[in-house]
Structure 1
């Protein structure tokens, strides 16, 4: 993660690397939980598949996708 003096104002300002390359799993979990649209979610899945392919991250992304789909059904 690059060192910068500016912090994102909200979760949509986070880059894919910032979301998925955080220094600990709690931050990764929190960044995944704040994904509010399928476009960002799909981009995160693609990023993870291209890079680390970490099963826990992919499971969290899959869980978040299910949550977003159920919200759309409401």
Structure 2
């Protein structure tokens, strides 16, 4: 059943905070996997460095950067 209070959001419209601060780790993973450009990825790295500085999340972002680079080659 759809919840009328929840707005549908395109993954490309998510802020770094929305990608990296959800209530569970599976949503963090989904937020990182759906990053499709380096500008968004850099914003997420900057957000993480300024706030939580979680090594595991920064590694995931680094891995995603490598994936994006290899797709652009």
TM (norm. structure 2) is 0.88
Residue in 1 aligned with 2:26? 26
State the Cα distance separating 1:5 from its structure 2 match: 3.4
- Tell me, in whole angstroms, the C-alpha distance in 2 between the residues paired with 1:55 and 1:61: 10
Q: CA RMSD in A?
A: 1.1
TM (norm. structure 1) is 0.87
Runs of 4+ in 1 over 6 A off after TM superposition: none
User: How many equivalent pairs are there?
Assistant: 69
Runs of 5+ unmatched residues, structure 2: none
- Tell me, in whole angstroms, the C-alpha distance in 1 between the residues paired with 2:26 and 2:52: 17
Residue in 1 aligned with 2:63? 63
Residue in 2 aligned with 1:36? 36
Are residues 1:5 and 2:6 paired? yes
**1:35 match: secondary structure:** coil
User: Based on CA coordinates, which of the two structures has the bigger radius of gyration?
Assistant: 2
Runs of 5+ unmatched residues, structure 1: none
- Tell me, in whole angstroms, the C-alpha distance in 2 between the residues paired with 1:19 and 1:41: 10
- Tell me, in whole angstroms, the C-alpha distance in 2 between the residues paired with 1:27 and 1:5: 16
